[in-house]
Every structure is written in structure tokens, then in C-alpha cells.
Amino acid sequence: MLQNYFKIAVRSIWKHRLFSIINIFGLASGLMVCFLAIAHIKGALDYDNFHTNRDRIYRIITDVHTKEDDKTAFATTPLPLAETLKKDYGFVENSARIVRTYGEVLGNEKRLDFLTFAVDASFFQIFGYPVAQGHVPTRPGTAVISQQTAEKLFGKKDPIGQVLEQDGIAPSIITGVIADTTSRSHLRFDILFALPKDKMNLFDEGKGWNEYGKSYTYVLVKQGILEYQLQNILPAISKRESAGLAPGGIKSLGFRAQPLTRISPAMEELMNSTYEAQLSGLTVEMSVGLVTLIMAAFNYINLTLARSMSRAREVGIRKTSGALRWQLLGQFMAESVILSLLALGLAYIMLELVKPMAFVQQWLIGGVVWDWKLWASFVTFSIAAGLLAGLIPAKVLSNFQPAEVLRSRNGLKIIRGISLRKTLIVLQFSISLLAMIALVTMMRQQYYMATGDYGFQNKNVLNIPLNNIPYERLSNEIGKLAGVEHVSGISEPFGHHGATERIKTKRADENTVTSFIFDVAPDFTKTLKLTLVAGKDLPEKFTAGHQILINEEAVKKFGLGDSKSAVGKSIWLNDSTEVEISGVVKDFRFKSFNWEIKPLILRPEIPGLRYMHVAVASGSEDRVLAETEKIYTKLNSYETFEGKWFDDFLYERHAHIDDISFMALLLGISFSIACLGLLGMVTYNTQTRIREVGIRKVMGAEVAQIIWLLSRDFVKLLSIAGAIALPLGYLAGYAFLMNFAYHINIGFETLGLCFGVLLLLGGLIISTRTYKAATGNPVEALGNE
């Protein structure tokens, strides 16, 4: 019987090849997206599996209760908790603290940003990170780095014994290199400094149990100790230490133990969370895959039901011959399974094509182990998807009665004459159009951020990382080149992060204002063509002076009156340095477009410069770039020249090409499925009405009239889809744009473009199929009953 099912299914698939191809491609597309989500979910479940003692490791999290009875969960804890657990409870074998540190790291005369932490020596006894070279830190003043960090800082030089420096951390000697591994962990780092036990107040500012936001606490329990035993001791610690909290908004602290094996995926949102996958994100990813798969299933249901009359005759004959309903169900389900297995093969090919995409590697499948369990889940999911997609058509078709077939009673109505098939088409195109509006909005916003007017000159400005080259030496060499108009420098390029400081207008004032501060070199305003609205520019030659430039927003936030009256006044940086305002520059966007314009200080500080800006005359770009690279290589032959044009820097930072490419792929799949479904429906509709077309042509109907007759119902469906998706897409687009202080507007250029593409694609599909039917020979149409 199974062999018979297989033969009939293969013959049916081959007989209706167009419909089969549409179904296989649609199911394969949906399966491919689902496979990416499944692989990511498996990767999230495999986090931290490489640690030998993973079943005995717990992270302690803190529940902060306010006096308003609000509760917030933190992944961090007070610093003293780790020592308390190890000292007071015998079943705790070891404990370790991990504290995030900030600031650039100086090593090998390079100053770069890294992901850095300070950890107890016991950290390496709890966790099983493999060491590629050297040994782990055993005392303060030592550190380990990752292999990638070693390559960035030292190239081929041996990093062992080299010294790293970071603000707030004592100079640390590198004792080991942690091996790069493809295995995923919720803890990510570039550098781990040894945590000094005698200077803990540097990290909690002497607040002790009152500071719960800086340290992660991990414990290793002894063999045979169960989770509830650790959980049972934490309330007593919470009660004891909450009684000694300083007066304020915090009512009490509660502690919970979280097994390492259950950190990822995260079931709850934690403040100061680490890098574990979030359940909400995985749910969204799987939802996208399921929506794509459901759209493909819509096609299968739609096209199968569209051919319901021809299959109904088959059902009638088989039932008359004595076939039972469950046998017919088995036959139709066998077709679905075969289609799903064919789709699985195509989905595998599509998966291999998208695997190399940067977005896919970085955010979805990087580090995922592709073992037999993952492939078994793919096969199982594919068969289940095929069975579910074929269930509705199988139940409907197997339920036909011979008498109903003879009377052509195949009505599949759900609401007052609106057929199920038409409803599915509307849903498909509504989803596709909604996704298109959202994607186009995102693309327009990213392009706006990448190419918009920041208020400073970024075209024909070369942006060069200094690394360990002295600014004065490089600027003197480059300044001599023909075509170079101005040379200056900055601590961090605009459009990047930048440092902040607390500013006071009076030293004794308790009120402070957070301001972004950049160290700059002479000629800075001329290089980037900043507009001076009051006062005078910084002197062309300066040392670490006490004159600064501020922007108009800083004048407002500092309470200095207007721009003219602000000139000559003094402010205090970090309670220690008094500086005089030399001039005020016009407001410009020195941060990302996510931010509104903030207070800005430009401070003359040559030692703080990390980048050089070179303003180049038009027409000299290529020559100046080539000569600058030669000068740079001559002064620092060990480093690769990484200079790039400022507008290219902003474009790469804000365009997010990899993300947009992946989303465009999903949109293309969505529209392909919808269009193929429409193609199948139009093809079937024209085939079933071919005799009607022949009669109308004999009676004198024009080709245009016949085309409109065959296509008007589908045009109506596209219009309904547009009416549904346009307002929803508008709302979805603005929900995304609310994350940006400066953003585009969603108008006709977005909505009209997307709806126009929908009508164009739908119109091409409809017109090509209906035109062929309308221009056919009526004699052949009437003769083919």
C-alpha cells in the first residue's frame, strides 16, 4: 500500500510540474529560514558546554526591591558576596568575581578599545577556558589576552611578558594567551586583568553591599551538592545584608542562584546582562521563519484546493471503487511528505549559499556545532511541516462525496462568498508588503545616517589612525604634500562614541552637566569647516592649554546665557581643571543620529590625539592618499595603513550593509513565495476558463476585455492586500524610527514605491498568463473540452 501511495504521489507531482515547483520552492525557502533559527536555538542551548565543571557552576543574580515595591533583576551582585559564600558555607568549593572595566588599553605603544574585565584568580579554577600560551594570572598586576587581541596589539611578536595599561588598573604583565574557540559562551572578553584584593573600593567606590551593579559573582559547589541547597542559604544573606543598606530608594536585596546550564537562552531580562542569547530574540527569529513557512504552506493549500475539482473527480472514482477515507488521506499526505523531502534538499542548497553571509555568521550560526542532532531536527521539522501543510487539503479532498462532485458542489467559503484561496492570497501579499515597507524604511534611515549632513566637512577629508606614530611628526610630513589644505587631529572621530566628563560652571557648585569632550589639534575647525558663531578659534600653536571651544547646546546646558556672553567665562572639568571658553561653534551632529545634539567641548590636547584629519583639495584625492600611505609606512613599517575617507568611514559605520542584505534576502523570499502562489492561481484560473475565453472570442470580445475579465479579481485582491498592509507598514516603520532623534519621514516615496512594486509584480504575473490565454486560438479552446 505504501508503495502504491508513493507511485501515485510521484505521478501527481510530475503531472502538475508547475504547481509542484512552486510548492517545493516555497517550502524550501520557509524551511531554510526556519533552519537558521533552529541552528541559532541549538547554539543558544550549547552555550558554555566546554566547561568541565559546568554542572556545578552557578551565577548569583540580585533582585533589587525599591520602597515603591518595584522589583528589578540584575545579573550583577555586591562585591563582598563572593567572599561571603566561600568563607561561610563549606559546600561552596570556590567563588569568583568578574568586574567590567572601561577605557582604552595601551600596549606595544598602541592605544585601542577592547572588551576588558578584572577577575579573581579563582575564575580560572572555576571555568575551563583553554590556554594556548603561557599560564593564567595568579596575582595582581598580571593579565591574559585572547589570541585575536594578541594579533591586534603585537602582531607576530611574543605577547608574554609585555605590559598592558588601562585607567584604574595597575600596569599588568601578560602571563598567558587564551585560545580562540568556536564554542560559544555567555562571557566574552578580549583581556582579563587580575582583580586586586586589597583595592576593591576602586570598583565599588567603598559602597560594599550598597553597590550591586558592577560585579558578577560565580560559585562552584562541591560534588553532590544540589541547586536547592545553594538556593536555601541565599535568603539569610539577603535579610542580613539588607538590614545594613544605606538609606535611600532601595528597600532590600534578594539573591538567587542561576545554574550555568540555564543561563542561555535567558528566560528573563536582566539588567547588566552578559552575552547570552535572549529567549525573546530567539522567539522573534523563529516567528520570522514560521511566517515564511506558513506563507509557503498557504501556497500548497491554495494550489491544492484550486485543483480541487479535478482531484474531487479522482476521489469520487476511488470511493466508488471502495476506497476508504483514511486510505485517501494517506495518499494525499504521502504527496505532502514527498514534496517536503524534495523541499528539504533544496533548502539545504539554499542554506549552504547563505551560510557565508556576514550577518548569518555573526548573529545566527557562528560557533554552532552541526552534528547529527541538528540534522535530525531539520529532517523531522521538514516532514512535520509537510504533514501540517497537507493536512487541510487532504481532509477537504478526502471528504468529497461522489454526488457533490457530480453537482460541482466544491464550495470552500468562509465568510459570505470570500473563498479560502482568495483570503490566503491577500494574507500572503499583505505580509510581504508590510515587510517591504518596514525594510525600505530601515534602508532609507540607514542611508540617511550614512550620507546625511552632519554639519561638518566629511568629504575629501582623510581619516588616519595614528597608532604609535607621534602626531607632530606625521602632520609635518603630510602637511608638505601638494593638495593638502589643512591637517589636524582628534581623540575620536565624530560619528563615533567619544568620552564624557562632568562639567561645573563653579567649582563649589554641586550641580554638574555631562558633556562630550574631544581632544583636538590646531586647525581643527578649519579642517572640518566648523562655523564659529562667537569668540575666537583656538590658537594655531598650543600646548595643553586652558582655552576650549564649546557648542551652542553647551551654552544652554551650562546656563551661560547667549553665545557672545559665554566667551571668556570659565568652567571646571572633573572638579580639578579650570578652562576658559575661547569661542562657541555652531551646533552640529557629532554623534550618531540616534542622539540629539549634546553639549560639546573641544579641548587642545596633543597627547590625547588618536586620529589625524587631512583636508584634501578636490582632484588631488588619489595622489594624496597614495603619498600619505607611503609616508605612514615609512614611519611605521610594522602597521598596515588603515586610513580612509571620512565620508566612507561614516557610511560603513551607519549603513549596516550586512544586516540590510540579510533582511533583503528574507523580503525577496517572502515576495517570491507570494508571487509564485499568485502565478499558480492565475495559471489554474485561466486553464479552467479556457473554454469560456474561446466562446467570448467567437462572440467578438476584444483581447483587452478578456484580459481584464480574467485578471480583475486578482487586481482586487492585490488592492485589498495594499489596503491592509499600508497603514500597518506605516505604523511599523514609525515604531522603528522612534529610536532615532533625527530620522526620515514615511511618505508617498516609501508607501507609493512599495505598493507600486506590489502592483507591478502582481500585474506582470497576471498579465503574462492572461494575455497568453486571451490571444489563444478559440478553435483549439472550444475543441479541448
Bridge partners of 101? 116
Residues 239, 284: one domain?
A: no
Question: 446 falls in which pLDDT band (50, 70, 90)?
Answer: confident
pLDDT given at position 628: 93
Looking at the chain, how many residues does it have? 785
Question: 312 falls in which pLDDT band (50, 70, 90)?
Answer: low
Q: b or e along 458-477 (b: 16 or more beta carbons within 10 Å of the residue's beta carbon)?
A: bebbbbbbbbebebeebbeb
Beta pairing, strands 191-194 & 142-146: antiparallel
Least reliable range by pLDDT among 202-206, 413-417, 425-429, 636-640: 413-417
What percent of the chain has pLDDT above 70? 89
Determine phi and psi for 530, rounding to 5 degrees. Answer: -80, 145
Beta pairing, strands 577-585 & 547-551: parallel
The set of cell numbers assigned to 129 is 577556558
Tell me: pLDDT of 247 over 50: yes
Question: What contacts 388, CB < 8 A, 6 or more positions away?
Answer: 297
Position 652 in a domain: no
pLDDT given at position 640: 79
Question: What contacts 447, CB < 8 A, 6 or more positions away?
Answer: 655
Tell me: pLDDT of 489 over 90: yes
Position 6 in a domain: yes
Residues 630, 701: one domain?
A: no
pLDDT given at position 415: 38
Tell me: pLDDT of 623 over 70: yes
Position 430 in a domain: yes
CA 122, chain centre distance (Å): 34
Instruction: Summarize the confidence of residues 702-711 as an average pLDDT.
Output: 82
Residues 199, 82: one domain?
A: yes
Alpha helices in 567-702 (DSSP H): 621-635, 646-655, 657-688, 690-698
Question: 410 falls in which pLDDT band (50, 70, 90)?
Answer: very low
Decide: 124 and 218 in contact? Cβ < 8 Å: no
Instruction: Summarize the confidence of residues 146-174 as an average pLDDT.
Output: 89
Question: 495 falls in which pLDDT band (50, 70, 90)?
Answer: confident
- Mean pLDDT, the chain, whole residue set: 83
pLDDT given at position 723: 93
pLDDT given at position 273: 87
Tell me: pLDDT of 558 over 80: yes
456-477 per-position pLDDT tens digit: 999 999 999 887 788 989 999 9
Position 353 in a domain: yes
CA 520, chain centre distance (Å): 33
Residues 580, 699: one domain?
A: no
Instruction: Summarize the confidence of residues 374-384 as an average pLDDT.
Output: 89
Bridge partners of 415? 418
608-622 per-position pLDDT tens digit: 888 999 999 999 999
Question: 417 falls in which pLDDT band (50, 70, 90)?
Answer: very low
Residues 86, 165: one domain?
A: yes
Please say which residue of 228, 262, 296 terminates a domain.
262
Of the candidates 499, 491, 503, which has an alpha carbon nearest to the alpha carbon of residue 574? 503
C-alpha distances in Å from residue 53, one per residue of 77, 123, 124, 162, 220: 22, 12, 11, 31, 8
Position 270 in a domain: no
Question: What is the spatial distance between Cα 594 and Cα 739, in angstroms, rounded to a whole number?
Answer: 6
Please say which residue of 569, 604, 638 terminates a domain.
638
For residue 265, cis peptide bond before it (omega within 30 degrees of 0): yes
pLDDT given at position 156: 81
C-alpha distances in Å from residue 285, one per residue of 34, 37, 629, 669, 737: 8, 6, 44, 15, 21
Residues 327, 402: one domain?
A: yes
Instruction: Summarize the confidence of residues 413-424 as an average pLDDT.
Output: 57
pLDDT given at position 411: 43
pLDDT given at position 191: 94
The most confident of the ranges 237-246, 569-578, 629-638 is 629-638
Residues 476, 624: one domain?
A: yes
C-alpha distances in Å from residue 424, one per residue of 21, 102, 702, 718: 19, 53, 31, 12
Least reliable range by pLDDT among 197-211, 291-305, 631-645, 679-693: 197-211
Residues 373, 421: one domain?
A: yes
Please say which residue of 199, 232, 262 terminates a domain.
262
Question: What contacts 678, CB < 8 A, 6 or more positions away?
Answer: 425, 428, 429, 714, 762, 765, 766
Tell me: pLDDT of 773 over 80: no
Instruction: Summarize the confidence of residues 358-376 as an average pLDDT.
Output: 80
Q: How far apart are the first and last CA of the chain?
A: 34
The set of cell numbers assigned to 680 is 499558480
Residues 495, 581: one domain?
A: yes
Position 460 in a domain: no
- Residue range of the domain that includes 347: 2-37+280-444+657-783
Residues 363, 479: one domain?
A: no
pLDDT given at position 525: 93
Please tell me the total count of domains within the chain.
3
The pTM is what?
Answer: 0.72
Q: Which of 198 and 504 is assigned the larger pLDDT?
A: 504
Question: What is the spatial distance between Cα 294 and Cα 336, in angstroms, rounded to a whole number?
Answer: 14
Position 454 in a domain: no
**Collapsed DSSP state (helix, strand, coil) of residue 387:** helix
Tell me: pLDDT of 68 over 60: yes
Question: What contacts 46, CB < 8 A, 6 or more positions away?
Answer: 183, 184, 368, 369
Residues 68, 27: one domain?
A: no
Beta strand segments in 475-541, E: 484-490, 499-504, 513-520, 532-535
Of the candidates 109, 169, 107, 157, which has an alpha carbon nearest to the alpha carbon of residue 133? 157
Determine phi and psi for 637, rounding to 5 degrees. Answer: -75, -10
pLDDT given at position 249: 63
C-alpha distances in Å from residue 678, one per residue of 437, 758, 766: 20, 12, 8
568-616 per-position pLDDT tens digit: 898 888 767 888 999 999 999 998 888 889 999 999 988 888 899 999 9
What percent of the chain has pLDDT above 90? 25
**What DSSP element (H or E) covers 92?**
strand 92-101
Residues 18, 92: one domain?
A: no
Beta strand segments in 357-469, E: 413-415, 418-419, 461-465
Tell me: pLDDT of 759 over 80: yes
Question: What contacts 70, CB < 8 A, 6 or more positions away?
Answer: none
Beta pairing, strands 215-221 & 116-119: unpaired
Position 449 in a domain: no
pLDDT given at position 192: 94
pLDDT given at position 416: 41
